[in-house]
A and B are shown apart, each in its own frame.
Chain A
Amino acid sequence: MPRINSPAELEELRKGILSKRDPNKPCITLCSGTACHASGSAEVAASIEQELKKQKLSDKVDFRMTGCHGFCERGPIVVIHPEGICYLQIKPEDVPEIISQTVKGKKVVERLLYTDPTTNKKIIHESEIPFYKNQERLVFGSNGKIDPKSIDDYLALGGYSALAKALSQMTPEQVLEEVKKSNLRGRGGGGFPAGRKWEECRNAPGEIKYVIVNADEGDPGAYMDRSLLEGNPHSVLEGLIIGAYAIGSHEGYIYVRQEYPLAVGNVDVAIKQAEEYGLLGKNIFGSGFDFTVKVHRGAGAFVSGESSALMTALEGKVGEPRPKYIHTVIKGVWDRPSNLNNVETWATVPLIINKGADWFLGIGTEGSKGTKIFSLVGKVNNTGLVEVPMGMTLREIIFNIGGGIRDGKKFKAVQTGGPSGGVIPEKYIDLPIDFDELTKAGSMMGSGGMIVMDEDTCMVDTARYFLNFLADESCGKCVPCREGIKQMLDILTDITEGRGEKGDIELLEEVAAMVKDFSLCALGATAPNPVLSTLRYFRDEYMAHIEQKRCPAYVCKELISYYIDPEKCQACMICLRQCPVGAISGGKNQIHVIDQTKCTKCNTCFEVCPPRFSAVRRLSGEPVPPPVKDRVLVRKKG
């Protein structure tokens, strides 16, 4: 690959790439993001290649495996260009039809299209699907058009033009000012103004400075950074180089968690290609600015996503947080000024440089500008990665984009911010997405995890779940976090298992208060949030668990029992046969009875009992009625 020595050469190269690409040439793009991968996109890919070869179309039709499209609920996703026809949930056996009908025949295969649940109409183009229509996919949108292993794809979309502009038309101070002006706040959870952080790092004493990409994304259910790094690694690199230029750093690190080998692989390829083009290394674009970057893999600990722990891990030590009274931008890796930002933050920078801070300021709320990528998961119809402007309400995200609660259930709460965040109940569902608004409501933006919960979710169990996660991930260095979380988890486990006592909640709140204020790092300091937040909005659920030994959501196994209503049971034997532990006794014409001593609360009988009978009931907080004496079934007529 020829080395690009100036912005002019970049544009030449770009023109060259585009000239070789016929926009009207048929192109099949297949999402190969993590979720689609798990849904079998590798097999679909093989099938596409095979079919193209078979139909002798390999030269006439392009095939591109792209990064995550975001609509992970419906993957594997195939989009046929140039028409932009979007097919969902593709299996390898669908491929011949797609190629024959759509690619060659220019006809749509109806059954593979998206059906709007409200209008029942089929939608052809990806951008018109409500899931996508209501988003503003400024950062994430390119994923669908790029093969992450091809830098040329990125260049074809205008990639690295921001870097060229920064290095040739702006001074580092001007770049810094632009980012400051844009009010870009960190997307990793802290929400700290990135420009201010860059400035403090730039002004810190010391020649050698580091810039770091934090790709240790550890919140359960969050995979935005993963998909961004896997699907569009160059956007992150470009932002990083621009940031390094503004700060005066010549060395960068990308810290990727151990569990993201695909991201590491794609970033490695991206770095190599960028180096070959001279976009990394010495004298980038002939500007005199040098910059190199290394990839560092994590070792499987959530806590090393905390900035000081991450820096300690980069030094080769165990990833444990250290005091940040002296900011890491002053003394970070090897005690040198180090600027750490989240993947998404870095990926947003090229947009700000290209389109300007004023453009960015036009999106979002007063305190939170720009867009944010969320992983919308849980009890929604459309799970996936969504990018929305700050200020959009939770209701709009969950219902307009997410398609509402699945299975017709009722919305109960949405959990944001992962283990550091809290739940937001229905009464605040019109809250706009905004750093400060979410914090006021007792939660936080976090890195973008958004877990939707319905009436079948137990809030006490949710708090217990997060504390269990944190107890496992705590580094254990400081007493409040290590011992405090353990005891809070103990109390919560007791409550969910029917051993809750009067005074438990008060003790929980007391421990939580100390852990919040005395912990060494943000993991400990935010650990009480799930507990405090669920207590704030769902205290009655806690009281039910403690006082009545009742779980209103029928989740906590120790507090629920399964009971077959003798009035409704039709002795069809379905549940009897399906029970994995043989706890149900009965026979033809003999009303079935569950042996409570054997029942493991697996929920199978509840699920398999035919809806027209609905004879299986869950009880909580009340004793199970004894079996009826006369179990001979009297069948209902009609």
Chain B
Amino acid sequence: MVNLTIDGKAITAEEGTYILQVAQANNIDIPTLCYHPALEPFGACRLCTVEITSRGRKRLVTSCNYPVEEGLEVSTNSEAVIKGRRMILELLLARCPNVPLIQELAKNYGIKKPRFKLEDDNCILCGLCARVCEERMGVSAISFSGRGLDRKIDTPFHIHSEICQGCGACAFVCPTGAIKLEDITDKEPRPILSEFNAGLSPRSAIYVPFPQAVPKVPVIDREACIHFLTGNCRICENFCQAGAINYDQEDEIIEADVDAIILASGFDLYDPSALEEYGYGKIKNVITAMQYERMISASGPTGGQLQRPSDGKTPKKLAFIQCVGSRDTHYKLYCSSVCCMHATKEAILANEHYPDLKAFIFYTDMRAVGKRFQEYVARAEQEYNVTYIRSRPSKITENPDNGNPIIWYEETTARTRTSMEVDMVVLCQAMIPSGSIKDISDMLHLSLNDYQFVNIPDRLFQPVDTEIPGIFACGFCQAPQDIPDSVVQASAAAARAAEFLSKED
């Protein structure tokens, strides 16, 4: 450990660390451009220069790569330092006058307009991109080429790289947005789609699945993580101040002796791609109800704005198709029970966000059977510009000029066949018991009914008991139901389990 002072503050630091690291750990701010905690210090931008007094001599050195020594006196903002920093920023601003980061830094140091001829570059040659590609990704697809004023970031021989792995780390660390992946590789980067946001936004390989996750701790997706795929990167480890990242973590198999089991494995969404006539996956502006939910949510990827996928425009005419996959001899025979109500809610929300918006719900039967559900549906019609059309559309096509979906349907009450062009279609897809139900039921020797839900032998008097005493099932895994009903069943299952456990045998 060595003792030094930074701006008069006495600090103890580990030998071998650099002044900048020590300053940052002590909340002393030194500006940087080419520094990155996960990369070797580069010393190129010179912005982190500080004035030191070492062995009686005053010197100007870069703090990112000057090792601390005993008795070092550091000044991060002496007159000489500030003057030099200002000139560096003025020069950079002359080179990159339209880069927001440089504009911001220059403004902080009082520079309005550089006294030099202006160029229009947006690369500050900090090298972060090339360095992350070499040091952390082990690829070196891009590097510096040329010398002096010809220096630039490039691929070997200025051709598209064969070895670029399309990870996008270069574009991610670039402080100015100068790196464009399409300049480096022909490969199209495929973002990792966030499951929670129904594929509407990307997520990183290390991520917290959703804000309410329990435990609220990031998890690494081994199939997307560069470290697990190539052995490189590990940048997240550099940033975790708690040192909590452990790439060697194994799945833990916990064995527990229990006396009762409650099954609450929930539901999955049925993928409507199977219904090719609706064009999900082909027609851009046909989305699922879950995607709509994420879009209309204020905490979702679009901040609550309805932005249709093809062009981001707000739909004025919105259609909901019910029973997509439900009540269908080809797919699921049963009614998923919640879709009529959630479609109504979604249509109301749309109109609340956009008063001009008209919604059309194409239904088979309105299942508004809960408490005050019928009144809710009536209000939608009367106050929120929602029109209910009794029909199950036969197909959806696309208007090639503007990407509008066109719904082809028969109005069963009027017995006319017609079409309607809308701006966006929401498919209320069927809900199915969660994918794990087959394995769990096999393991527990439970049978599934004809609709693949957990069998409840006596629905009337023992609605949460399975065939096996001590194993209870609640919620969607045993029958389609909404949240209030699931909550009731959950309480029931808990009570039944308590009752079961209290019996001595």
List residues of A whose CB falls within 8 A of some B CB: 301, 303, 318, 322-323, 325-326, 471-480, 482-484, 486-487, 490, 507, 510-511, 513-514, 517-520
Contact = CB atoms under 8 A, between A and B. Distances in A.
- 5 closest pairs, A vs B, by CB? A476-B151, A483-B91, A514-B87, A474-B148, A476-B148
B92 interface: yes
Given A323-B65, A323-B66, 5 more contacts: A303-B147, A325-B67, A476-B125, A483-B92, A520-B44
B235 to A, nearest CB: 23
A327 to B, nearest CB: 12
A325 B61 contact: yes
B149 A520 contact: no
B115 interface: yes
A520 B60 contact: no
A447 to B, nearest CB: 21
Contacts of B496: none
A514 B88 contact: yes
Given A517-B80, A518-B84, A483 B94 contact: yes
Contacts of A323: 41, 43, 62, 65-66
Interface in B48-81: 49, 60-62, 65-67, 80
Given A325-B61, A520-B44, A479 B150 contact: no
Given A323-B62, A517-B60, A479 B83 contact: no
Nearest to A490: B117
26 contacts: A323-B41, A323-B66, A325-B61, A325-B67, A471-B149, A473-B148, A474-B148, A476-B144, A476-B146, A477-B151, A479-B44, A479-B47, A479-B92, A480-B88, A482-B125, A482-B148, A483-B92, A487-B116, A507-B115, A511-B87, A513-B83, A517-B84, A518-B49, A518-B84, A520-B43, A520-B62
A476 B149 contact: yes
B46 interface: yes
B95 interface: yes
B46 A518 contact: yes
A326 B18 CA distance: 12
Contact of A476 (B45, B60, B61, B147): B147
A58 B146 CA distance: 54
A520 B46 CA distance: 8
Contacts of A322: 43
Contact of B46 (A475, A478, A507): A478
Contacts of A475: 147-148, 151
Interface string B91-122: 11011000000000000000000011100000
Given A472-B148, A487-B94, A518 B88 contact: yes
A291 B150 CA distance: 41
Contacts of B41: 323
Nearest to B92: A479
Nearest to B144: A318
A74 to B, nearest CB: 38
A480 B89 CA distance: 10
A45 to B, nearest CB: 39
Interface string B23-58: 000000000000000000101111101000000000
Q: How large is the interface on B (under 10, 10 to 19, 20 to 34, 35 or more residues)?
A: 35 or more
Q: Most chain-A Cβ atoms within 10 A of its Cβ — which of B62, B144, B147?
A: B147
Nearest to A319: B147
Contacts of B115: 507
Nearest to B149: A486
B370 to A, nearest CB: 67
Interface string B296-337: 000000000000000000000000000000000000000000
A507 B80 CA distance: 16
Interface in B325-364: none
A101 B49 CA distance: 71
A301 B146 CA distance: 11
A485 B84 CA distance: 15
A513 B146 CA distance: 27
A518 B51 CA distance: 11
Interface in B115-138: 115-117, 124-125, 127
Nearest to A321: B43
A476 B127 CA distance: 11
A326 B67 contact: yes
A481 to B, nearest CB: 9
Contacts of B147: 301, 303, 473-476
Contacts of B44: 477-479, 520
Given A323-B62, A517-B60, A478 B148 contact: no
Nearest to B60: A517
Contact of A514 (B66, B67, B84): B84
A510 B116 CA distance: 13
A477 B147 CA distance: 8
A328 to B, nearest CB: 14
Nearest to A474: B148
A514 B127 CA distance: 22
A484 B91 contact: yes
A484 B94 CA distance: 11
B81 to A, nearest CB: 9
A490 B116 contact: yes
Nearest to A325: B66
A513 B81 CA distance: 12
Contacts of B148: 471-476, 482
Given A326-B67, A490-B117, A514 B149 contact: no
Contacts of A507: 115
A474 B125 CA distance: 14
Contacts of A483: 88, 91-92, 94-95
A510 to B, nearest CB: 7
A323 B95 CA distance: 25
Instruction: Identify the interface centre among B41, B46, B84: most chain A CB within 10 Å of its CB.
Output: B46
Contacts of B49: 518
A497 B65 CA distance: 42
B87 A510 contact: yes
A325 B115 CA distance: 33
B46 to A, nearest CB: 5
B61 to A, nearest CB: 6
B279 to A, nearest CB: 53
Nearest to B47: A479
A346 B285 CA distance: 77
A517 to B, nearest CB: 5
Contact of B45 (A472, A478, A517): A478
Interface string B137-168: 00000001011111100000000000000000
B88 A479 contact: yes
Nearest to B18: A325
A343 B120 CA distance: 44
Nearest to B146: A476
B490 to A, nearest CB: 63
A514 B83 contact: yes
B46 A479 contact: yes
B88 to A, nearest CB: 5
Contacts of A479: 44-47, 88, 91-92, 124-125
A478 B45 CA distance: 6
Contacts of A482: 125, 148-149, 151
A68 to B, nearest CB: 31
B366 to A, nearest CB: 68
A476 to B, nearest CB: 3
Contacts of A518: 46, 49, 60, 84, 88
A476 B150 contact: yes
A318 B124 CA distance: 19
A326 to B, nearest CB: 7
A301 B147 CA distance: 9
Nearest to B49: A518
Given A473-B148, A476-B146, A520-B43, A325 B65 contact: yes
Contacts of A519: 46
Contacts of B65: 323, 325
A296 B65 CA distance: 29
Contacts of B87: 484, 510-511, 513-514
B421 to A, nearest CB: 57
